[in-house]
Amino acid sequence: MSHFSFAFGVGTQSSQGEWLEVFYPQPVLNPSDSLVKAVAGVLGNGVITGNHAAVINAQQASQICEAMRAIDHEGQAKWLRQAADAGQPMVITLLEHDTAPTSTPEVYLKLQLLSDGQIQPHGQDLTGIFGLLPNVAWTNEGPIAVEDLTQRQMDARLRGAWLHVNAVDKFPRMVDYKVPAGVRIGDASRVRLGAHLAAGTTVMHEGFVNFNAGTAGNSMIEGRISAGVVVGKNSDLGGGCSTMGTLSGGGKEIIAVGEDSLIGANAGIGIALGNRCIVEAGLYITAGTKITVLDANNQEVGTTKGVTLSGKDDLLFRRNSQTGRVEVKPNGTAVILNDALHSHN
């Protein structure tokens, strides 16, 4: 009996009973057979086969809580008991296989597995998630369905309060669900749930990290990590720089940044960048960019397109300040990051 993932969650529903979001305090990848059986003993063996997001009531939560305690899952039992006592909407999500999600609770579980660091970007099936994520008003009073917003705003004013709408989006802020160990984030609104941030990552105030994307180690992020992009350890994204996401151009090309690399301020890439590479400030390299190839002595040896250099190591991309042409040459200088910048003590 092998399952992909399990989690107990507490969430928010619209006035129509539709899930807006779900918070899973302790998602589990590859749950034990004993944990799956404990849940099935209360909800029925039907939850064992296939993928399920089952709404549970306080009585079921209490029964599952006792079953978990019997198998030494005290942590999960604690969350269950607290939510049951508070009377909040609760869901048990049990996924037998890593297949395309079919419900909002399933999507939130998969996004939280990413931000929890249990799954790497591109490590699970996220097909069709946009159609399963409702557009939500994220406010100082929590998530609110857009159709319920006017009434909630009026209710707040009638009690002498003010409802602040911070965003209207399908994705919430990551930090409202998970704060990974050993990271710094200057502006929490610029890191979406489903981002994967490795320890040693610093996201400065103008940095941005999308879902199913992130870092693999020490990184200084002052630019944009678009959906699907992974930045290797000891690499820097300079202020205002950009990485073209896998959603661009049909979503087939995976853009990545290797280790010990640098994308300069206001530069960008539409190709994968290998290890120990530099892209000069202000230069944007795409698959179709015509590039003059130079040897180590700055002698021209030919021309090529950006796509042919995708993923290649030890390259320096620059624009010739006299001719304006884009050039590439062997990079003899590895990028060395300042350790002090990545200290999160």
* Residues carrying an active site annotation: 222
Residue 91, classified by CB atoms within 10 Å of its CB into exposed (0-12), middle (13-18) or buried (19+), is: buried
**Cα 92 to Cα 5: distance, rounded to the nearest angstrom:** 11
Give the distance, in angstroms, between the CA of residue 331 and the centroid of all CA atoms in the same chain. 31
Residue 323's nearest CA partner among 294, 286, 288 is 294
Q: List, in order, residues 6 or more apart from 53 with CB less than 8 Å away.
A: 91, 92, 93, 103, 104, 105, 106
Provide the edge-to-edge strand list for the sheet that holds 268-269.
242-243, 268-269, 284-285
Angstrom CA distances, 84 to 29, 89, 103, 265, 343, stand at 24, 9, 22, 50, 40
Count other C-beta atoms under 10 Å from residue 90's C-beta. Answer: 23
Question: In this structure, are residues 209 and 197 in contact, taking their beta carbons and an 8 Å threshold?
Answer: yes
Beta bridge partners of 47: none
Q: List, in order, residues 6 or more apart from 16 with CB less than 8 Å away.
A: 145, 147
Beta bridge partners of 56: 90
Residue 259's nearest CA partner among 272, 247, 238, 276 is 276
Angle of helix 74-86 versus helix 58-70 axis, rounded to 10: 160
